[in-house]
Amino acid sequence: MARKRESESKTRKVKKPEYRSFRLHKKIKNPSKPIIGSFKLMRESLKHLLKNKKLYLGIASVYFLVSLVLVSGLIGGTDYSTVKESLSEVFNGTTGQLSIGISLFSMLIGGGNSITESGSVYQTTLIIMISLVSIWALRHSYAKTKITVRDAFYKSMTPFVPFVLVLIVMGLQLIPLLIGTTLYSIAIGQGLAVTVVEKVVWVLLVLGLFVLTLYMLTSSIFALYIVTLPELTPMKALRSARELVRYRRWTIMRKVIFLPISLLLLAATIMIPVLLFLTFMAQWIFAFLSAIGIIVIHSYMYKLYRELI
């Protein structure tokens, strides 16, 4: 009888499968629910912003006004009207107008406005602040809590230091990509890669390092949203983020890549006609759209974060 009880206490259990990055193993079935598609994700995130448009337009307006004073110097820099006239002498017809619009848009997103060193510091600080405000507002608006623009700015700055520490970790994760692009520039500039095969090898190296960087950032980016919760340290947030994306990292990577591509196309659709027909207002409109864009980015990513929970 004693032996029977002893055998029951030593019942063998099947070990649960474990997943470890960059190691070969049998495919583990994803235990989580499927994630909605990228287009639906974007549509629902925009729908939420429109539903609370008064709040988010207020947040964007505050950022826009402060940015004009501290960063852009009330809009200066490149004279796009003059550039447009110069390009009109080269390009003609409907196709030419489109070429002019694309050229001006490339200049605009490429940093046509000169920003001083102090302006860059202000801009970075403002982006961090507007990110914290947006995340706080999204969390409370999804919870259907009645909040104001003032509440969002006053009550969202508590996790500023943990948020910055997570950003520093993400900056360190960009090192492989920076190394790859630097080596590629040296190889091309110094003539180390001459033949097509050599250039392809270097491109593949940079692409591999880009995928590695994106792979690491795919989890860390969600730590930005987790660390804003009460009593969470950056390390706990990073560990929670890794657990959040487990088994689904490659699927999430595709949705993260979709975001900048869709925003670039949306910005081009709006700004190219503005640059062609309202050139004198282009910089003002683009500055305000940039403020809206930051909120849209966080709305999309926060919606994705909620889908993963």
pLDDT given for residue 114 in this prediction: 56
- Expressed in angstroms, the distance from the first to the final Cα of the chain is 48
pLDDT exceeds cutoff 50 at 257: yes
How does pLDDT run across 26-45, given as a tens digit for each residue? 555 555 678 899 999 999 99
- At 248, give phi and psi (nearest 5°): -125, 15
**Average pLDDT value for the chain:** 86
C-alpha distances out from residue 6 to 2, 10, 291, 296, 299, Å: 6, 6, 67, 61, 56
Tell me the pTM.
Answer: 0.85
Q: What is the pLDDT of residue 2?
A: 47
The stretch 287-302 carries a mean pLDDT of 95
User: Which tens digit of pLDDT belongs to each residue from 164-211?
Assistant: 999 999 999 999 999 989 988 888 888 777 788 888 888 899 999 999
Q: Could you tell me the pLDDT band of residue 21, with boundaries at 50, 70 and 90?
A: low
Q: What is the pLDDT of residue 18?
A: 59
Q: Which has more pLDDT, 250 or 27?
A: 250
Structure tokens belonging to residue 62: 């505050």
In this structure, of 158-162, 272-276, 296-300, the range with the lowest mean pLDDT score is 272-276
pLDDT tens digits, one per residue of 64-113: 999 888 876 556 567 788 888 888 887 887 788 888 889 889 888 876 45
| pLDDT confidence of residue 160 | 95
Q: State mean pLDDT over 272-288.
A: 89
